[in-house]
Each structure stands twice: as C-alpha cells, then as structure tokens.
A = this chain, B = another copy of it.
Amino acid sequence: MSRIDTSVNIAGVVLKNPVMTASGTFGSGEEYSEFVDLNKLGAVVTKGVANVPWPGNPTPRVAETSSGMLNAIGLQNPGMEVFIKRDIPFLKKFDTKIIVNVCGRSEEDYCQVVERLADEDVDLLEINISCPNVKEGGIAFGQDPKAVEHITSELKKRARQPIIMKLSPNVTDITVMAKAAEAGGADALSLINTLTGMKIDIHKRAFALANRTGGLSGPAIKPVAVRMVYQAANAVKLPVIGMGGIATAEDAIEFILAGATGVSVGTANFFNPTATEEVVSGIEAYMEKYGVDKITDLIGAVR
C-alpha cells in the first residue's frame, strides 16, 4: 500500500490522510483512543472550546431519529485553560494533527480563545459559527453573510494558526456563506454542521429534548451535506472539509469526489467506535482497487 499517497494539504498543513473526527463527537480523543489508534488519523478535531467553562443544556440532550440523531449538548466544555493544560498534552502524544474547534457567545469570546491558543502547539483552528449568539439576539453568526465575513476577518487578524470556518447548513444559499468566509480571509471551510430539527414524544406529549430543538446529524443528512460541499467547493478556492453522515469509506469518497479535501466522521463514532480507522483503510482499498495513486486526483472529480 506504500505506493498510494493519501496525504492532503489543508491551508499549508499536511495531513497523512483526509480523515478526521467531527467536533463534539470524539471529545478530545481520549475516550475513543481505547478503540482507535489515533496515529492512524489525519487529524483529531476537538469538542468546541470556549474562553470559560460552559455547563451546556439540561437533559435529555440526545434523541434518535430515522438514520439520524438530534443533539442539544449546548457546547458544554471545560474552558480553554483546562483544555490547554489537559487535552493538548494528551493529543501531542500521537502522530496526528490537532484541530481545535472554537466556540463563543460573542465576538470577544472567540477572539479570546483564538488569541490564547496562538502560542499553543495546535495545527489548525476550526471556528464554529453556529453557536448561539447572545448579543445578536439568538441568530447564529453563521446565518448572516456580513457577520460571517466580519468575524472571519477579526479572527484572521488574531490567529497564529490557519483558520477553518465551519458553516451552518441552515441557510438559503451555502455559497453566499462560503464566499463571505473567503472574503473575510478564511484559510479553509468545513461543512456541514447540524440541521436544526425537533422531535416530540407523542405519548408524553413533550419535546424529546429539553432544549426543544436540536441539531440533526448522521446518515440521514448526508445528501444535504454532499450537495452543500459540492456547491461550496465549486464557489470558492479554499479547501473544504466535508462532513455529515460519513460512516464508511464509501461515504467519505462521495464527499471527496464532490470536492472535499478532508472528511470528518461524527455521529458514526457512536454506532461504530472504530469507524474512523475503517474509513482510513477503506479509502486505501478503494484507491488500490481503482488504481488511484494520489487521493488529490479524486478531489472534486465528479462535476
């Protein structure tokens, strides 16, 4: 298999393969390191990190749907100081890239995290702009192109690592958001975050999630994700990291053919703890089978 080149370059950072973990589904890697050799992954993307600890939402926080799940974790996290002290050193033990997912309730929150991480040994920052934005009345940054461009350029000024803007799919036209992030100076894009959904328990006549709405993820959303990755990759020059329902190498290759340079495995970890590693080896097998030497030849090959 040594003949095959699965490496990809995202904003100057070379990953040994395009396979990463989707933020929030893999903690900071520790729990799944019992099942997966983290050295085999292109990168580990951490759970969202804020400037201070966030308690998250009340429970129930998760519910199952057809081929999908809803979550309203509410971005619970221990805050950047604990993250830097505990989680970065853990991840540094492995030969994989570290991508820190950043969340905030205001522009200042995001800026603080990005500035604090400037001197830390992490490879890339992924900015989750679907976080609830208290100041702007609950509409996420990610749904307004002006806000996307503005926050991107503010963070770009402060960041020492390349920044990946993570786009929300709950928009009319994903290309508008992609271009806004590009105009703001983003180094890469990642998409999709979850689709907003709801479930009602008809026997209890109550919302299944305490938060009422939650984010839909898993195989159910894959067709929407592939479409948006295709549209975004064709609208901007930036590398795109695709995610949304990836559970197998076949799914990952579908995203790559649509234009993704990287791929993230999210919800699939919950139903197959070794999903990430299997995606890596499955991609290699596909390349072997079809005589593809460089994975970069597959990126955006269907158009």
Binding site for B on A (CB under 8 A): 65-68, 70, 143, 170-173, 195-200, 202, 205-207, 213, 216, 218-224, 226-227, 230, 245, 250, 253-254, 257-258, 286, 301-302
CB pair A202–B65 under 8 Å, yes or no, is no
Across the interface, do A226 and B202 meet the contact criterion of CB distance under 8 Å?
no
In the complex the two chains form, what is the Cα distance from A205 to B257 in whole Å? Answer: 7
Known: A223-B216, A301-B205. A198 touches B230 (CB 8 A): yes
**Inside 8 A of A200's CB, which chain B residues have their CB?**
226, 254, 257-258, 302
Bound: A258/B213 CA distance, A = 12
Task: Let me know if B254 and A202 touch, CB within 8 A.
Answer: yes
Report the nearest B residue to A258, measured CB to CB: B200
B68 and A223 contacting across the interface, CB-CB below 8 Å? yes
11 CB < 8 A contacts A-B: A65-B219, A66-B67, A67-B219, A67-B220, A70-B223, A196-B224, A197-B224, A197-B226, A198-B223, A200-B226, A200-B257
CB-CB under 8 A from A245, the residues of chain B are 66
Known contacts A66-B219, A206-B302; is-contact A226 B198 (Cβ 8 Å): yes
Cα(A206)–Cα(B303), bound, Å? 8
Asked if residues A202 and B253 are in contact (CB atoms below 8 Å), the reply is yes
Q: Of B172, B207, B219, which contacts A143 at CB under 8 A?
A: B172
Docked complex Cα distance between A286 and B226 (Å) = 38
Given A216-B224, A224-B195, A227-B213, the answer on whether A205 and B143 have CB atoms closer than 8 Å is no
Chain B min CB distance to A230 (Å): 6
- In the docked arrangement, what's the CA distance between A301 and B200, Å? 11
How distant is A25 from chain B, measured CB to nearest CB, in Å? 17
B213 in contact with A198 (CB, 8 Å): no
Chain B residue with minimal CB distance to A65? B223
Q: Which residues of chain B are within 8 angstroms of A205 by Cβ–Cβ distance?
A: 257, 301-302
Which one of B172, B198, B221 contacts A220 once the chains associate, using CB atoms below 8 Å?
A: B221
- Contact among B65, B172, B216 with A172 in the assembled complex (CB-CB below 8 Å): B172
B-side contacts of A220, CB under 8 Å: 66-68, 219-221
Residue from B173, B196, B197, B286 in contact with A202 in the complex, judged by beta carbons closer than 8 Å: B286
Rounded to whole angstroms, the CA-CA distance of A202 and B199 in the bound complex is 33
A96 to chain B, nearest CB (A): 25
- Residues in chain B near residue A206, CB distance under 8 A: 302
Residue of B nearest to A171 (CB): B172
Q: Decide if B223 touches A199 in the complex (CB within 8 Å).
A: yes
Task: Known A66-B67, A67-B67, A68-B67; judge A223-B197 contact (CB<8 A).
Answer: yes
**A227: shortest Cβ distance to chain B, in Å?**
4
A301 nearest CB neighbor, chain B only? B205
Rounded to whole Å, the gap between the CB of A105 and the closest CB of chain B is: 20
Please indicate the chain B residues that have their CB under 8 angstroms from the CB of A143 in the complex: 172-173
Residues of B contacting A198 with CB < 8 Å?
223, 226-227, 230, 258
